[in-house]
Amino acid sequence: MIKKSEPAAPDIAKLTKPKAKIELMRLRLEIEGHNAAYYQHDAPRISDAEYDALRRRLEAIEAKFPDLVSASSPTQTVGAAPARGFAKVQHAVPMLSLGNAFTDEEVTEFALRVQRFLRLDEIPAIVAEPKIDGLSLSLRYEHGELVRAATRGDGFTGEDVTANVRTIADIPTTLKGKAIPAACELRGEVYMLKQDFLALNKRQEEAGDTVFANPRNSAAGSLRQKDVTITASRPLKFFAYAWGEMSDYPMQEPTQHKMLQWLAHAGFVVNPEITLCNSVEDALKFYRRIGELRAALPYDIDGVVYKVDRLDYQERLGFVSRSPRWAIAHKFAAEQATTVLEKIDIQVGRTGAMTPVARLQPVTVGGVVVQNATLHNEDYIKGLGNDGSPLRDGVDIREGDTVVVQRAGDVIPQIVSVVLDKRPADLPKYEFPHKCPVCGSHAVREEGEAVWRCTGALICPAQAVERLKHFVSRLAFDIDGLGEKQIELFHERGWVKEPADIFTLKARNAELQIEKLEGYGETSVRNLFAAIDVRRTIELHRLIFALGIRHVGEGNAKLLARHYGTIDAFLEAMRAAADAQTEEGNTSEAYQDLDNIAGIGDVVAEAVVEFFAETRNRAALEALLAELTEVLPAEKVKRDTAVAGKTVVFTGSLSKFTRDEAKAAAERLGAKVAGSVSKKTDYVVAGEDAGSKLTKAKDLGVAVLTEDEWLGLIGG
């Protein structure tokens, strides 16, 4: 069923302070997520242009409401915290990021601000350099010897990658020349040549390993290898262009341009395109020339950086927020090209999400051959812009269209417009499929979502591995010795495709011979079969949770189990509700009963019914039940106990019962078990070493009970 698009972001000019506070929180969380994806995982989720738009909106709202600016705002921080796995390194001088300019006028305003701040008669000389799209690196030298290398991290603390950096030929381990400072931090960018990137991806693909999205990701991923030999095998390059701490400068009256020349003499590679400009006009000419050269350059760039040349001027200008006043990045618009969209394919993700992908006539965009482009979702194809992408004035996308493709931030190509003049008059509109192309199950689109999802949770090959992992997880069947790795292995070999297959492994083992697999033996296989047999008896709520129905977590599974009591009653009701499902809705008594369960509601009820409306899900469940010995009925919740309706929090190390046992007993007696303490908490049951939750309970005046007092309250 087609739902309405999500409303557009509120107009900043009309924002009230309370609404601005909410919008700022939303923007901050979204930007922090993208920062982590880019800086920690080297896997950006959106284009540079989309990211810049988010930041500009954040900055505009903070400018209108300056009292809402917090120290944790992305406008006050740099990058993201260092990823786990490497030792942390504190930068002696922070590695701050640059402010951005997107137009000639913004560059001119930057130069005029510098002139006004310094009270000069004219704009000072500016060094213009290509903005390398790589990974920022700081190198510390003591008495000319490399002693430490660190990534930027959050700007203040980075990751120690010294051993890996020593494998990069462009980085000298000993500085050359005589005028070497006693201590200095020299900085630049690790990158990979385009041709090396393509060759690496080809090798990765042939080996079945990770294929990188772009040269920047491949360079960052290569540098962050825990195995130094992997880094050494990757063709990493380095451009030096800056410095942090300097015990002294190697020249009198140092300037940015002279320091770059010194870096070259010291043994570094300095970008040969860097130019000293004596006016804004010269700087903009450099920008346009580099823009024209961009596709022909052997490395990726995403703009030009302008820096005030004189270092004494840089010191006077200082910093504002997260950026220096004396430098700015002039970003390029995303590169575009025109081609023909030959076909739209639907890819099904591990959670059932159906994502359309454009298959294009191959076209070169920025020196890279593009054959596929993301189409996001149904609304994007229809021109509704429901995914946050630029609205194309309602113009839809069709198979056979001539389209403009953009390498957005050089990450994932996307279609930004359609050339309507070249659209054939008889070209039919694209109809988004309402069935899964992988398994044929019907698809649903929930209200408020732009994504269609396959409902064949138990039988769809595209979802099988993740669903099976969920099936054996701790709160579901929890089969000892059958974890994620084993599920992946058994599925890859074709041994386990559906949940029922797990329980037939023993009967099929004469053919499978699991004991011959590496890491297995007769004893471990015997123990695995025993663990599987133990789970042939399972509680009803665990079975419901294990099915992986969308929106049905542990809590909702327990609500359903308690309401229906037995597996037979549950299945009878679900079949009745599913069989009555129509496009207009569901008015059956079975559906109304499901929808009226306290805590369930429309969204969960519809998801459960959609699951059972897929007949092959029912067949897979019946096959599973045929392998089980018993599904234990749910215990009825008692309403006449001392804790019925109360909210309880368990904290600390419990000695008389496990946390799961305590939770189950409390819920059986009608209590609600919460994970945090608030004013609504009635009891906190504290074991040994209870920490902040106990402190908060005392501060709020919440009743604190020992384990014995709790047992006394509930009658043992």
State both tokens at 115: 């002139």
The pLDDT tens digits for 196-240 are 988 888 887 777 776 776 788 888 888 888 888 888 889 999 999
Give the annotated binding-site residues for NAD(+): 48-52, 97-98, 129, 152, 189, 307, 331
pLDDT of residue 6: 42
Alpha-carbon distance of 322 to 74, in angstroms, equals: 9
The pLDDT tens digits for 686-707 are 998 888 889 999 999 999 999 9
pLDDT of residue 141: 95
DSSP H stretches of helix in 547-655? 554-564, 567-579, 589-595, 601-613, 615-627
Q: What is the 3-state secondary structure (H, E, C) of 577-606?
A: HHHCCECCECCCHHHHHHHCCCCCHHHHHH
- The pLDDT-based confidence of 23 (bands split at 50, 70, 90) is confident
> Does domain 464-632 sit in CATH 1.10.150.20?
yes
What are the structural domain ranges in the chain?
A: 12-76, 88-331, 336-422, 464-632, 647-713
Report the half-sphere exposure of 231 (CA within 13 A, side-chain side): 20
In the predicted model, is pLDDT for residue 76 greater than 90?
A: no
Give the annotated binding-site residues: 48-52, 97-98, 129, 152, 189, 307, 331, 436, 439, 460
CATH architecture of 336-422: Beta Barrel (2.40)
Residue of 3, 4, 21, 131 marked catalytic: 131
- Domain 88-331 sits in CATH at 3.30.470.30
| DSSP string for 292-328 | HHGGGSSS-EEEEEEEESBHHHHHHH-EETTEETTEE
- The pLDDT-based confidence of 543 (bands split at 50, 70, 90) is very high
Q: Reply yes or no on whether 646 is catalytic.
A: no
Instruction: List phi, psi (to 5°) of 97.
Output: -95, 175
DSSP-based helix, strand, coil % in the chain, nearest 5 = 40, 20, 40
The pLDDT tens digits for 369-391 are 688 888 888 888 888 654 444 44
Helix (H) / strand (E) element for 243: namely strand 236-246
In the predicted model, is pLDDT for residue 169 greater than 60?
A: yes
The topology under which CATH files domain 647-713 is Rossmann fold (3.40.50)
For the full predicted model, state whether its pTM sits above 0.85.
no
Give the annotated binding-site residues for Zn(2+): 436, 439, 460
The pLDDT tens digits for 423-436 are 999 999 999 999 99
Helix (H, G, I), strand (E, B) or coil at 99: strand
The topology under which CATH files domain 12-76 is Helix Hairpins (1.10.287)
- Can you state the angle between helices 48-64 and 17-35, rounded to 10 degrees? 150
pLDDT of residue 155: 84
CA nearest 652: which of 699, 697, 702?
A: 697
Fold match, 464-632 / 647-713: no
In the predicted model, is pLDDT for residue 615 greater than 60?
A: yes
Q: Percentage of the chain surpassing pLDDT 70?
A: 90
The pLDDT tens digits for 410-459 are 456 888 888 888 899 999 999 999 999 999 999 998 777 778 999 888 88
Judging by beta carbons within 10 Å of its beta carbon (0-12, 13-18, 19+), is residue 291 exposed, middle or buried? middle
The pLDDT tens digits for 78-123 are 554 444 457 888 888 888 889 899 899 999 999 999 999 999 999 9
In the predicted model, is pLDDT for residue 670 greater than 90?
A: no
